[in-house]
C-alpha cells in the first residue's frame, strides 16, 4: 500500500476550494453511515497502527522520527500514548454520546496540524468522525506522512470515508492558497507555535480554534507522608520524557517545599538517567543545547543544585524562589526547573501570567491546603 | 581630529587590582609570545579567577574542578555567554562596564554585561592585534568610524575599541560619522571624497549597508584603503548575505575583497579574531592572536570536534583575565586551516550584536 495515496499536495487555492466544497457535499452520505460501522473501522485502524509489527506502522517509523525529532523508542512510546488515547471505553462513550444529526452548520473543518507530536491527526480526525463532519487535515511540511497514512488505513475498512476526509499539505502562511480554502470552512483548528497561531488569528478571528503552545507543571507536596519522592520522581520522569517534553502535558516545571528541592532534583535526575536507556532521547539541536548549558551554568554559579545528569538524558536544576525568575518554559530536551514554594497559593500570580497556556497541573500529595 | 569629542572613561584614579602578577605576565605574553607558555598562563588565570570570582568558583566546585589539580587548560569550565546577562563576573572592581547591544529575540531577553576590571589590558590587546590585521603599514591612517562614539554609547565594547583605535592609530583627519539617527551618510560620503591617501573605515555591517544604500554613485576610495567590518546584517529590516556585502563594497567603494578585514568579537570577550587578507589569508577565515585559543565544541558534550566539523565556538582568551577566560558562545563555526569559519548563530538563540544598535538608532 502506498502510504501517500490520498495525499494531495494541492498548493493551488482554487483547487483546495474545490476540494473542500466537494467534501462538504458528502455530509449527507457521511450521516448515512452507521455509528457502529465508523466505530469499528476506527478501532481496527488504530489497532493496526498500534501493532509495531504491522507494515504500515513500520513504514512510518523513519519519517516520523525524522519529522518529530524523536528517537525510535521515543516514537514508539509516543505513538502508543497517542493511539492508545483514542480507543477504549472513553472513545466508545464519545461515539455513543454525540448526535450528529443535531449539529448545525455542516461545513467542513480545516485542521492545521503541528509536526512536533506524532500521530496528532488522530484527535481531530476522531472528532470529525464522531460528528460526521468532513474535514481537511493539513500536515506540516516536516511531517507530511502520518495523516495521509491514517486516512488511507481508515479507508481500507470504510471506503466511503475517504470521500469525506482529505489529508493534504501546503506551505503555511500562503494566503493565496489558504483564503479560498478557509472561506468554505466552518472552523479552522490550528495546532502549532505562537507565530503560526497569531498569523491565523489575524486571518480568521473567531473562526480559529487555536491549540497553541501549552505548558504543564507539577506540584509535589513532599511533607505528605504518602509521598515517596523516588516514586514521584519516576512518574514525573516519564511525563517529562514522553514526546521529549514537546507535548502540552509534558511537565516543564515542578514546585515543592524548599526543604525538598534538592532531594527531589536528585531523585528526578536519577530517574531521567535511568529512563534514557529505554526511552531514548531524540536529537538535540545546538540552540537548545546552548540554552541548557546556560541554565546549568547560571544555576551552579548561583550555588544552586544541578542534578548530575548527562545533558542529553535530561537536566534538573533547583530554581530560585518565585517570583525571582518566574515560571518559565523549559528549553526542552527533558529539562526541568524545581521551584521552592511554601504553599500552592504562592503560585497563583505566576499561573495567572500563563492563562491560556497552562495545560495541566500534576499533583502529588494532599497535605497542602 | 573629529568633531565628536572622544572621552576617556577609564577612571585612571581607581586603585589597581590585587594580584597584578598574572596580569603583568599576560600583558608581557601579549607583546612577546616567547616570554611564557600559553598553557601555563591559562591555568594561572583560571586559578586567579577561581579565587576572586565567587560565582565562577561555585561553577567549578559544582563540576568538581579544582585549580590545584587541573593540568589541562582545555578542562577549564566554560562560561556560556548568556550567563553574563544574569551573573556579575569580575575579579576586581570594574573600571568599565560593557553591555551588549540590547538585541533581543521575539520573546525578549536580557543584555549581557561585562564588568571589566582591566581596561588597560583591553587596550594592550587592541594595540597588539588591530594594527597587525588592519593596517597595511604601521602608520596612522585617516579613519572614518560608522560606529557610535563613546558619548553616544558609553557602555559599548566596540565603541571603547573604536575610540582607542582612532586616538592611537588614526591620522588627525579621522572622524566619526554616526549621529543620533544612525550613519551620517552625507558626512561619510563627503569625507571619503576628500581623501587622497588610503583610509580605513571602521563599521558594522549594518551601518555599511545603510551608507552604501545611500550612495547615488559609487565612490572610489584611494587604492590601499581598508574596510574593518564587524557584526552581521542581522536585524529587523534588511539582511544582506556576506557575498552580497562584499559585492556592495567592491562596487560601491572600489575596495577589493582582500582589503575587507572581518572582525569577530563580542561584549563578553576582550580579544578579537580577525580575517587576515592583508597578509594573504582567506578573508573568511578568522584567526586568533597567540594569547587566544578558539575551539569548536560539540554542542552537547562540549568535546572538541574534528577539523571541518561544525560546532559551538568557544574561546580561551587571556585578555579576559578579569571575568572569564573560557567563554562558550552561541555561534556555530568550524575549524579551517589556522582559524575558524563562522557559520552563524545557533538557530533560535538571541539575535544580538552591534548591527542592531545601529538599526535601533537609525529608527530613533
Of A287, A303, A306, the CB nearest to B346: A287
Q: Binning pLDDT at 50, 70 and 90, where does residue B78 land? A: very high
Across the interface, whether the CB atoms of A301 and B347 are under 8 A apart is answered no
Across the interface, whether the CB atoms of A286 and B82 are under 8 A apart is answered no
Q: Name which of A199, A283, A287 to mutate to probe chain B: the one with the most chain B Cβ atoms within 10 A of its Cβ.
A: A287
Examine the predicted complex and report whether its ipTM is higher than 0.90.
no
Q: Rounded to whole angstroms, how far apart are CA atoms B193 and B211?
A: 14
Residues of A in contact with B78 (CB under 8 A): 297
Cα dihedral B80, B83, B87, B88 in deg (nearest 10): 60
Across the interface, whether the CB atoms of B56 and A301 are under 8 A apart is answered yes
Quick one: closest CA in A to B328, which residue? Answer: A290
Residues of B in contact with A284 (CB under 8 A): 299-300
Give tens-digit pLDDT for B1-19. 333 333 333 333 333 234 6
Across the interface, whether the CB atoms of B59 and A293 are under 8 A apart is answered no
The shortest C-alpha distance from A336 to chain B (Å) reads 17
Quick one: closest CA in B to A284, which residue? Answer: B300
Positive or negative torsion for Cα A254, A259, A262, A267? negative
The shortest C-alpha distance from A287 to chain B (Å) reads 5
Q: Binning pLDDT at 50, 70 and 90, where does residue B351 land? A: very low
Quick one: closest CA in B to A311, which residue? Answer: B300
**Stated pTM of the model:** 0.87
Q: Binning pLDDT at 50, 70 and 90, where does residue B103 land? A: low
Quick one: closest CA in A to B55, which residue? Answer: A301
Q: What is the pLDDT of residue B81?
A: 96
What are A264's three cell numbers?
527531589
Q: Rounded to whole angstroms, how far apart are CA atoms A274 and A94?
A: 37
Q: What is the pLDDT of residue A171?
A: 79
Closest CA to B313 of B285, B333, B286: B333
Of A289, A291, A301, the CB nearest to B58: A301
Average confidence score pLDDT of chain B: 88
Q: What is the pLDDT of residue B105?
A: 36
**Chain centroid offset of residue A107 CA:** 26
Across the interface, whether the CB atoms of A287 and B312 are under 8 A apart is answered no
Give tens-digit pLDDT for B127-180. 999 999 999 988 899 999 999 999 999 999 999 999 999 999 999 999 999 999
What are B127's three cell numbers?
594595540
Q: What is the pLDDT of residue B223?
A: 95
Q: How many interface pairs between A and B have CB atoms less than 8 angstroms apart? A: 69
The shortest C-alpha distance from B106 to chain A (Å) reads 10
Give every residue of chain A whose pLDDT is below 70, as ranges: 1-11, 101-103, 369
Between these two residues, B58 and A175, which has the higher pLDDT value? Answer: B58
The shortest C-alpha distance from A46 to chain B (Å) reads 36
Quick one: closest CA in A to B333, which residue? Answer: A286
Q: Rounded to whole angstroms, how far apart are CA atoms B169 and B171?
A: 7
Quick one: closest CA in B to A312, which residue? Answer: B300
Residues of B in contact with A288 (CB under 8 A): 348
Across the interface, whether the CB atoms of A301 and B299 are under 8 A apart is answered no
Of B77, B87, B300, the CB nearest to A284: B300
Q: Binning pLDDT at 50, 70 and 90, where does residue B330 land? A: very high
Residues of A in contact with B50 (CB under 8 A): none
Q: Which residues of A49-79 are buried (b: 16+ CB within 10 A; e: fewer)?
A: beeeeeebbeebeebbbebbbbbebbbbbbb
Q: What is the pLDDT of residue A359?
A: 85
Q: Rounded to whole angstroms, how far apart are CA atoms B324 and B170?
A: 31
Quick one: closest CA in A to B330, which residue? Answer: A290
Across the interface, whether the CB atoms of A287 and B79 are under 8 A apart is answered no
Q: What is the pLDDT of residue A141?
A: 86
Q: Which residues of B touch A (CB under 8 A)?
A: 55-56, 58-59, 62-63, 77-80, 82-83, 86-87, 106, 299-302, 311-312, 328, 330, 332, 346-349
Q: What is the pLDDT of residue A146?
A: 96
Q: What is the pLDDT of residue B254?
A: 96
Query: Which residue bears the cell 480554534?
Result: A209
Asked if B225 and B251 count as a contact pair (C-beta separation under 8 A), the reply is: no
Give tens-digit pLDDT for B175-231. 999 999 999 999 999 999 999 999 999 999 999 999 999 999 999 999 999 999 998
Of A291, A301, A312, the CB nearest to B59: A301
Longest CA–CA span in chain B (Å) reads 63
Of B63, B106, B346, the CB nearest to A286: B346
Q: Binning pLDDT at 50, 70 and 90, where does residue B363 land? A: very low
Q: Name which of A213, A286, A299 to mutate to probe chain B: the one with the most chain B Cβ atoms within 10 A of its Cβ.
A: A286
Residues of B in contact with A297 (CB under 8 A): 59, 77-80, 83
Q: Binning pLDDT at 50, 70 and 90, where does residue B348 land? A: low
Amino acid at each position: 500500500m502506498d502510504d501517500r495515496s490520498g495525499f494531495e499536495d494541492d498548493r493551488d487555492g482554487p483547487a483546495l476550494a474545490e476540494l473542500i466544497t466537494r467534501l462538504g457535499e458528502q455530509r449527507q452520505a457521511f450521516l448515512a453511515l452507521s455509528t457502529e460501522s465508523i466505530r469499528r473501522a476506527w478501532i481496527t485502524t488504530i489497532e493496526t497502527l498500534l501493532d509495531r509489527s504491522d507494515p504500515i506502522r513500520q513504514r512510518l517509523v523513519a519519517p516520523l522520527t525524522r519529522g518529530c525529532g524523536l528517537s525510535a523508542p521515543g516514537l514508539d512510546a509516543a505513538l502508543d500514548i497517542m493511539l492508545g488515547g483514542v480507543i477504549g471505553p472513553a472513545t466508545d462513550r464519545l461515539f455513543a454520546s454525540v448526535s450528529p444529526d443535531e449539529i448545525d452548520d455542516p461545513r467542513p473543518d480545516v485542521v492545521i496540524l503541528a509536526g512536533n507530536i506524532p500521530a496528532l491527526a488522530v484527535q481531530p480526525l476522531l472528532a470529525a468522525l464522531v460528528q460526521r463532519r468532513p474535514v481537511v487535515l493539513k500536515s506540516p511540511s516536516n511531517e507530511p506522512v502520518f495523516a495521509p497514512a491514517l486516512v488511507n488505513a481508515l479507508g481500507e475498512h470504510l471506503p466511503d470515508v475517504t470521500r469525506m476526509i482529505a489529508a493534504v499539505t501546503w506551505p503555511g502562511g500562503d494566503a493565496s492558497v489558504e483564503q479560498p480554502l478557509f472561506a468554505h470552512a466552518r472552523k479552522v483548528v490550528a495546532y502549532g507555535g505562537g507565530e503560526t497561531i497569531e498569523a491565523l488569528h489575524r486571518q480568521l478571528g473567531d473562526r480559529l480554534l487555536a491549540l497553541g503552545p501549552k505548558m504543564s507543571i507539577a506540584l509535589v507536596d513532599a511533607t505528605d507522608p504518602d509521598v515517596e519522592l523516588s516514586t514521584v520522581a519516576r512518574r514525573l520522569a516519564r511525563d517529562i520524557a514522553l514526546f521529549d517534553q514537546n507535548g502540552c502535558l509534558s511537565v516543564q516545571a515542578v514546585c515543592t517545599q524548599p526543604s525538598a528541592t534538592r532531594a527531589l532534583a536528585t531523585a528526578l535526575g536519577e530517574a531521567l538517567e535511568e529512563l534514557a536507556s529505554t526511552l531514548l532521547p531524540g536529537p538535540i539541536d545546538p540552540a537548545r543545547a546552548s540554552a541548557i548549558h546556560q541554565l546549568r551554568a547560571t544555576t551552579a554559579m548561583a550555588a544552586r543544585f544541578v542534578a548530575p545528569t548527562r545533558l542529553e538524558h535530561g537536566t534538573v536544576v533547583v530554581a530560585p524562589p518565585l517570583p525571582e525568575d518566574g515560571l518559565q518554559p523549559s528549553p526542552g530536551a527533558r529539562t526541568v526547573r524545581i521551584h521552592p514554594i511554601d504553599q500552592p497559593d504562592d503560585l497563583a500570580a505566576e499561573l495567572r501570567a500563563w492563562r491560556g497556556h497552562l495545560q495541566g497541573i500534576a499533583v502529588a500529595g494532599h497535605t497542602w491546603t | 581630529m573629529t568633531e565628536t569629542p572622544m572621552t576617556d572613561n577609564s577612571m585612571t584614579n581607581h586603585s589597581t587590582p590585587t594580584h597584578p602578577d598574572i596580569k603583568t605576565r599576560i600583558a608581557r605574553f601579549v607583546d612577546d609570545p616567547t616570554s611564557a607558555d600559553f598553557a601555563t598562563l591559562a591555568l594561572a588565570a583560571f586559578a586567579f579567577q577561581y579565587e576572586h570570582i565567587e560565582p565562577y568558583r561555585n561553577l567549578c566546585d559544582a563540576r568538581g574542578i579544582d585549580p590545584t589539580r587541573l593540568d589541562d587548560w582545555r578542562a577549564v569550565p566554560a562560561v556560556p555567554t548568556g550567563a553574563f546577562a544574569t551573573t556579575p563576573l569580575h575579579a576586581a572592581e570594574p573600571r568599565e562596564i560593557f553591555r551588549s547591544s540590547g538585541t533581543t529575540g521575539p520573546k525578549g531577553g536580557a543584555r549581557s554585561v561585562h564588568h571589566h576590571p582591566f581596561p588597560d589590558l583591553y587596550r594592550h590587546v587592541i594595540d597588539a592585534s588591530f594594527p597587525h590585521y588592519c593596517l597595511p603599514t604601521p602608520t596612522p591612517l585617516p579613519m572614518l568610524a560608522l560606529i557610535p562614539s563613546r558619548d553616544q554609547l558609553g557602555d559599548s565594547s566596540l565603541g571603547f575599541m573604536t575610540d582607542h583605535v582612532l586616538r592611537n592609530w588614526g591620522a588627525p583627519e579621522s572622524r566619526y560619522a554616526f549621529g543620533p539617527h544612525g550613519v551620517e551618510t552625507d558626512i561619510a560620503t563627503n569625507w571619503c571624497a576628500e581623501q587622497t591617501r588610503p583610509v580605513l573605515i571602521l563599521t558594522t555591517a549594518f551601518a555599511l549597508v545603510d551608507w552604501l544604500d545611500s550612495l547615488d554613485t559609487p565612490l572610489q576610495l584611494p587604492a590601499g584603503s581598508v574596510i574593518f567590518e564587524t557584526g552581521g546584517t542581522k536585524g529587523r529590516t534588511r539582511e544582506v548575505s556576506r557575498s552580497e556585502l562584499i559585492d556592495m563594497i567592491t562596487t560601491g567603494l572600489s575596495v577589493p575583497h582582500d582589503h575587507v578585514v572581518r572582525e569577530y568579537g563580542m561584549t563578553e570577550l576582550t580579544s578579537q579574531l580577525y580575517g587576515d587578507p592583508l597578509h594573504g589569508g582567506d578573508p573568511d577565515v578568522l584567526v586568533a592572536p597567540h594569547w587566544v585559543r578558539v575551539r569548536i565544541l560539540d554542542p552537547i558534550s562540549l568535546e572538541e570536534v574534528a577539523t571541518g566539523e561544525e560546532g559551538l565556538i568557544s574561546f580561551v582568551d587571556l585578555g579576559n583575565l578579569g571575568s572569564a577566560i573560557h567563554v562558550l558562545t552561541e555561534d556555530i563555526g568550524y575549524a579551517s586551516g589556522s582559524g575558524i569559519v563562522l557559520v552563524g548563530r545557533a538557530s533560535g538563540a538571541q539575535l544580538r550584536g552591534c548591527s542592531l544598535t545601529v538599526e535601533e538608532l537609525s529608527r530613533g
